[in-house]
Amino acid sequence: PANKIVFIAFPSKSGTMAMQKFFSVLLPDVKRELRRGIIECSKRGLLHSTKWLAEMHHGLADVHIDNEAPDEDRTFSECQLEGIAPEEYSDYFLAKSYYDVREYDRAAHAVRNCESSVPRFLHFYSSYMAREKRRLDSTTDQANLHEPNQMRDLADLLATLRMEYGKSRLDGYGIYLYGVVLKALNLNQAAEQMLVQAIRLVPMLWSAYLELSPLIMEKKKLLSLQLGGHWMRHFFMAHTYLELYLNDDGLKIYEDLQASGFSKSIYLIAQMALVYHNKRDVDKAIELYQALLESASPYRLDNVDTYSNLLFVKEMKTEMAQLAHKAVSINKYRPETCCVIGNYYSIRCDHQVAISYFQRALKLNPK
């Protein structure tokens, strides 16, 4: 049934799933949290978190929460303006409109005097995004990524956020941004502390987990993190296991999550395909990617570079050509598309052209 209870086990210190230590959560409650998270992230301009939460929400399409009592409906509608003082609506709406068209400096300026939590975050985050945009726009090769003036830009923002944090004026989202800036300046220990704090305060903020994951270098460290007992933690655990190439540990969590009600999640399907790719089970990985890209999410470009690697290994030239054509038709400037085209030319033994596309992918996404 759609409204079943999800049982998720906590990892024990040995790393095995301790079956006796469960917490349970109703799938309708999970979906409500996802919906609330979508609204909270969206109004702050946290686009990648919004996208991830929306995909997870869509994967629970069979779970019905829309026949709520009137009080629930009112709460849902009101939360869209929660955290924005009525007298700051005008400035916020203006700033958000600028932010949405990537005019980050204008967005930051529009809410520079706001005091309520959402506009204040949008001010700081727009300031950060403006710096990031300038950095990327001026980047012609990897050597330019750490120009002194760009580092000074971030250092100035860091000083502001540190002062705000010291005055207890940052909420969970602001603390997340503080962690992001610390990490960008290679202050990783402090960044880890801030990101963990942000996750405990705002457990639905998927971007915080993604920023934290690369700072975790071993399983022991992962298991020692004090993230709280929220169910989102398990998606982070599985993701980080994959980053550490502990594929069997990650696969076990993903299988448990699928069995718990997330079987239609395109994110989980993609992650499991990545697990099988890492485990060199090429046929299984290709099967999952084909199911994902041909029916579940045909215009998806996330992970198509990995899929093209598998097609290259299997020398599936026809499928590679079809994938390259499709990726170009969707967005030829995505790094993933450049990797697909690179693999397409590689499989045709046109290595010079392939190299140029791989270089283009690196320029678009140096990380």
Domain ranges, ordered by start, for the chain:
26-62+81-138+147-215, 216-280, 301-366
- pLDDT score for 334: 94
In this structure, the number of other CB atoms found within 10 A of the CB of residue 365 comes to 14
Tokens matching residue 120: 């204040």
Do the domains 301-366 and 26-62+81-138+147-215 match in fold?
A: yes
Query: Which of the 8 DSSP states describes residue 4?
Result: P
* The Cα angle at residue 100 between residues 97 and 101, in degrees rounded to 5: 95
- pLDDT score for 365: 82
Give 11's strand partners: 17
* The Cα angle at residue 18 between residues 14 and 202, in degrees rounded to 5: 90
Pick the CATH number of 301-366 from 1.25.40.10, 3.40.50.2020, 3.30.930.10, 3.40.50.720: 1.25.40.10
- CA-to-CA distance for 352 and 342, rounded, in angstroms? 9
Which among 30, 20, 42 is positioned nearest to 100, based on CA atoms?
42
Residue ranges for the chain with pLDDT beneath 70: 1-24, 67-77, 139-150, 367
Helices (H), 292-334: 304-313, 317-331
Identify the H or E element spanning 186: none
Query: Which of the 8 DSSP states describes residue 86?
Result: G
User: pLDDT (tens digit, 9 = 90+) per residue, 242-279?
Assistant: 999 999 999 999 999 998 889 999 999 999 999 999 99
- pLDDT score for 323: 96
228: left (phi over 0), alpha (psi -120 to 50) or beta: left
What's the first-to-final CA gap in the chain, in angstroms? 42
- pLDDT score for 318: 95
Q: pTM to 2 decimals?
A: 0.88
- pLDDT score for 66: 74
- CA-to-CA distance for 82 and 103, rounded, in angstroms? 24
- pLDDT score for 170: 96
> Is the CB of residue 180 less than 8 Å from the CB of residue 199?
no
Which CATH architecture is the domain 26-62+81-138+147-215 placed in?
Alpha Horseshoe (1.25)
